[in-house]
Structure 1
Amino acid sequence: MFYFGQKVNIVETEGIKTELQKNNTGKIFFTYKKIGDNILQQKDFLDFYTLTNKSNLFFVAYFDNSLTNYKHFLAPEIPLDSLFKSGNYQFTLFVDGKEIYKSNLIPGAPQPEIQDKATSLNRPFIDNLYGQGSWSESFWNRFLHNGGDQALSDGSHTLKMEIRPYVKIDTIKTGEIIAAGSLKLNVARNPKIDISTITLNKIVPYNGFFVSKEKYDTEKIKLLKGSIDEGIFKKINSIVVIKNGGILIEEYFNDETRETLHDPRSVGKSLTSTLMGQAISEGYIKNELQPLKTFYPLHQFANFSTAKEQITIKDLLTMSSGLDGNDEDGNSPGNEENMYPTSDWVKFALDLPFQEKLNHRWHYFTAGVVVLGDILDKSVPNGLKNYADEKLFKPLGINHYDWQYTPQNVPNTAGGIKMNALDFAKYGQLYKNDGIWNNKQILSKKWINRTFTKQKQINGRNNEYYGYLFWNKSYKSKGKLYEAYYCAGNGGNYIVVFKDQPLVIVITASAYGQPYAHSQADKIIQDYLLPAVFVQK
């Protein structure tokens, strides 16, 4: 320990690193891009900034101590090894002198060593180029959602920020301001889109798809295209609409093209269901009711129980097994983030304890889909990669794709298979066609019917369900509901197959980790694509 003023620090900090920090301790500044602390200068700090949908915004805060020490001063009775979980920064944002949003940041970020050492923060609020939904970006998005969006109307505003430390024992105790600063803004987030200057992509045939001659509202699609170009919708890379088997709409953004192989993350999980259905129809796997014990000697794994032995393929297809894994719970032992650093992802999953409270209840569980991929790889001739190529990709005319692999060199069924947008559309159209492609039954219609069944209710979501690694919900457009089964992946990636309409929609996007990713894709479908395709006469 060492002394800072009249208080005793509990950890040693990195100290005041630069002359710039020394001259600006206790202040917050803003920059329009990420600038390293070692090259940051006073002239880089903004006094005035025009904020558009394409703008980036970073903040730099200088403190005279580290967060761990600030929390220690607030609650000296809390031991060092508990301080990290006992509080964090409190961020407050004001617009034009009015407090809009205050958040006691959840313990967990920044990392413990940063909380111990750092006497400054250099973080993004908005990073349209490289943002991955980090904790500071998430705070800004919560601010927008909780009044900031309305407060930052077009025109002149003053944005002010205050940072305090807080700790929580039985109650929350908040410290004094440790840094504050403001920025004059000219907000211009509602651009006028002149659709007369926007042209739509000229569509040509693609292997497996003809060009649709059906009518649609081209002005609505031009308005959508302009909104994407203006950054109202962010990191959208392609939009494809197939109607009655033909390409109706095909647009690309952010330098992607018809040939670009896009990573749709968990969209790839759904292919595992497809290949499982194919393997069952060909007799390589008996049926989806087969228990895990027929594939693995579970007594050789940790946390053995007879209940674990009875987990079925169907339980994993519907994400409702009793294995203690939930990707939506950061503290879950089976969270996928705990799986990736391990050397054997299947062992990771099968080592998990069985929890009766999870059994037969839906919970998002990526590791379970990895197990399904391993079962397939062991069961089909020549392994999963060759089987998928022969039974699915070649029949669909999909020749260019890139599949990631597990540490055991098995195709990664957790997600991450890269294809172009039109090949993803072929996959969706196969389901729309009841498993037929080029007049050949590639996938069993019975399997598609079981897949497109509301197997499980999605926790916390009204009228949303889960089938066999496909999601289900209804989109509402102009007062009408359109039910769909769909594949979804991080970043706002979708393959949407409409149940009662001759329609397949593909959206590829790279808003990875961003909280707006899925909601903006839904808005595109509901407010633009469906109204454009189903023009009311």
Structure 2
Amino acid sequence: MKQILIILFSALMSLKTVGQIKDIITPEIITNPLHQANIGRITFMASNIPLNVYKKEDFLSTFELSHKSSLNVRVFMANSVTNYLHQLAPELSLEELVKSGNLQFSFFVDGNLIYKENIHHGCNFGSSVNKNTATTFRVPLTSTTGEDWWAMYMWDRFKVNGGEKALSEGKHYLKIELRPYLKLNDSDLRVGEMIAKGEVELLIKSPVITKEQIAVQAIAPNSGWEVSKDRYDTQKIEALNTAIAKYELKQITSIVVIKDNKLLLEEYFNDANRNTLHDPRSAGKSFASTMMGIAIKDGYINNENQPLKNFYDLKKYANYADNKSEVTIKNLLTMSSAFEGSDSDGDSPGNEENMYPTDNWVKFTLDLPMNNHKKNGAQWDYFTAGVVLLGDILNKSVPESLEKYSDQKLFKPLNITQYQWQYTPQKVVNTAGSLQMRAIDYAKYAQLYKNKGKWKGKQIIPTDWVAKTLTKQIQIPERENEHYGYLFWNKTYSIEGKNYEVFYCAGNGGNEFLIFKDLPLVIIITGKAYNKPYAHPQVDKIVKEYLLPAILF
């Protein structure tokens, strides 16, 4: 008994000591009556309601959740995030605290812990919210207004990691708990006491599906393609359409299938139609490879082994190095240059997110240092800025501009008239991506490669360039049996013991243009699931579980 009392006394003294730790920074004064009355509470709301007009009547107790709803939370705390972190490690400076921790979100469904995430230290709570001093914040979990928040990606991860299954049709109770955390090293993770919690009843209803949504969509006239008369398993396509309509496959906008150079399937979803110009993001990079092959054929560029020193006076840029001058066009086409640039590493100097805010993307790229641990041509690392250089080299080398050259040499021969480029700050077409077109026109582009560069009897892209492009030029690290060509990806689908190899263009959102090596097939899938973890996995699911079984039945 005496031992138990000693333990309890020590625990109480410990709590008292923690409570006596002074704040490291003065938090904002809580003057809002609603905040004062709800300290320690997470409240739910159906839209972004500003704090100054937010009322208790706006607190949600019940909410019907669908993919077309906006579910927000507003958190009322007694102190700022940074001061809560300070309680966990009083010895750290303000800067060290901010770089070492943030909030831990725990998601419960019907009383069961489903998912827990320590959000990145860099996550903030809006442009006007300073986590050093703020004691309340709002984040969207779902949104229909085009918001782009880390909280929405966290919600997606919650759903992928059990939330989707737990939130089955019917009534469920969602509870969220917040705690501060600090990660000082791999073995020292400190999590504080709960600082806020909240609960809402969610009503999950399956969307009403119509016969029109399920039915295979008829191909309208004037597609520019001969329509295929080949048979396919319509039940598989109806099952695919049902999954898209039920939002089991999310934010798909189009599916086009070309078989034996004829249009077999053409379907549109989520308010898209034949004339929709889709934004396939980085799938547009492949056009830089195409135009490079055409420019080499026309003699404006000698070959892909030409180094950067042939196009730029590199000593005028920062961080000059001999291996920078020896970077070749091929290194940029295969994402294998030794630039200190990696889009998969948020801390990389050459990460694309560091490039976009600058006023000269070419200068940004050529100013980058070189990575002494890389050797040109030896290691694949996704590097968008390098593709911008390719666009600039082309624009400098071909007559008039890359935009006009592409129109004359590629788009007009394919009878592609509806398209929209994005531009760099120097008004050069942006070869980093987002070349918007109709889905059936992307199909022409992909079929051109299937035809070894020929379209209606005319050689558009040199045959040898197509062969080099659709060759496994370099292994993609940490991806089994996946390779990269000249700005084209490569993978193999395995279905019931059979392998189907494809080269393809790929872009954020689940956009893929697939060219099958040993099947007479080209498949275009476009989507708007930008930055979603399910974007590309669901494309693989569409191909493996629906399209190939339907076509090869």
Are 2:491 and 1:473 aligned? yes
RMSD: 2.1
The amino acid of 2:40's aligned partner reads G
User: Larger Rg: 1 or 2?
Assistant: 2
Q: Deviations over 1:136-164 (max 9, x none)?
A: 12222222233333333334432221101
- Output the CA distance in 2 between the equivalents of 1:197 and 1:350: 50
Shift in CA distance, 172/5, structure 1 to aligned 2, threshold 3 Å: closer
Structure 1 residue 198: Cα displacement: 3.2
Aligned residue among 387, 406, 427 for 2:424: 406
Listed as ranges, the gaps of 5+ residues in structure 1 are none
Mapped contact 1:158–1:184 kept (Cα < 8 A): yes
Alignment-derived partner of residue 225 in structure 2: 209
1:399-453 alpha-carbon deviations (Å, 9 max, x no partner): 1211111111111000111111111111011111111111111111111110011
The 2-side partners of 1:233 and 1:33 are apart by 25
Q: What is aligned with 2:9?
A: none
C-alpha deviation, 1:315, in angstroms: 0.4
Q: In the alignment, does 2:195 pair up with 1:181?
A: no
Between the aligned partners of 2:31 and 2:400, the Cα distance in structure 1 is: 58
- The 1-side partners of 2:346 and 2:54 are apart by 35
2:179 equivalent in structure 1:
164
Query: Which segment drifts farther, 69-78 or 192-201?
Result: 192-201
Q: Which residue of 2 aligns with 1:327?
A: 343
Q: Deviations over 1:234-261 (max 9, x none)?
A: 2211111111112211111222211111
- After superposition, the C-alpha distances for 1:189-219 in whole angstroms (9 at most, x for unaligned) are 5x68675873332213445411111111222
In the other structure, the counterpart of 2:367 is 351
Which residue pairs with 1:534 in the alignment? 552
1:497-536 residue pairs with structure 2 within 5 A?
497-535=515-553
**Which residue matches 2:109?**
95
2:6 maps to none
In 2, the alpha carbon distance for the partners of 1:313 and 1:197 equals: 46
2:156 to 141, 146, 154: 141
Structure 1 window deviating more from structure 2 (71-80 vs 320-329): it is 71-80
CA contact (8 A) 2:213 2:241 kept: no
Mapping of residues 196-235 of structure 1, within 5 Å: 198-206=214-222, 208-235=224-251
* Residues 485-494 or 512-521, more deviating: 512-521
DSSP 3-state at the match of 1:162: strand
List per-residue Cα deviations over 1:55-99 (Å, max 9, x = no partner).
Answer: 443222211121112112222221112221110101111222222
1:195–1:220 Cα change, 3 Å: farther
Q: CA deviation at 1:364?
A: 0.5
Q: Does 2:461 correspond to 1:443?
A: yes
Structure 2: distance between partners of 1:418 and 1:17: 49
SS at match of 1:237: strand
- Map of 1:64 onto structure 2: 78
**Residue 315 of structure 2: aligned partner:** 299
Q: Verify: 1:80 aligned to 2:77, yes or no.
A: no
Is 1:27 the equivalent of 2:27? no
Out of 50, 58, 74, which is 1:44 matched to? 58
Residue number among 271, 276, 290 corresponding to 1:255 in the alignment:
271
Counterpart of 1:149, as a letter, is: E
State the alpha-carbon separation in 2 of the partners of residues 181 and 157 from structure 1: 14
1:429 aligns with 2:447: yes
SS at match of 1:65: coil
| Match for residue 24 of structure 2 among 2, 6, 10 | 10
Query: How far off is 1:115 after superposition?
Result: 1.3
- TM-superposed CA distance for 1:515, in Å, is 1.7
| Alpha-carbon offset, residue 329 of structure 1 | 0.5
Q: Is the Cα contact below 8 Å between 2:213 and 2:242 reproduced in 1?
A: no
The range that moved more, 24-33 or 61-70, is 24-33
> Which piece of structure 1 moves more, 499-508 or 47-56?
47-56
CA change 1:534–1:31 in 2 (3 A) is farther
Q: Which moved more, 1:278-287 or 1:217-226?
A: 217-226
What number of residue pairs does the alignment pair up? 530
Contact 1:53 1:232 in 2 (8 A): no
TM-score normalised over the length of structure 2: 0.91
For residue 126 of structure 1, give the secondary structure of its aligned residue in structure 2: coil
Using the size of structure 1 for normalisation, the TM-score is 0.94
Secondary structure, aligned partner of 1:284: coil
CA distance in 2, matches of 1:32, 1:522: 34
Amino acid at match of 1:474: T
The structural deviation recorded for 1:33 is 3.3
Q: Which amino acid aligns with 1:225?
A: N
Q: Does 1:313 align with 2:316?
A: no
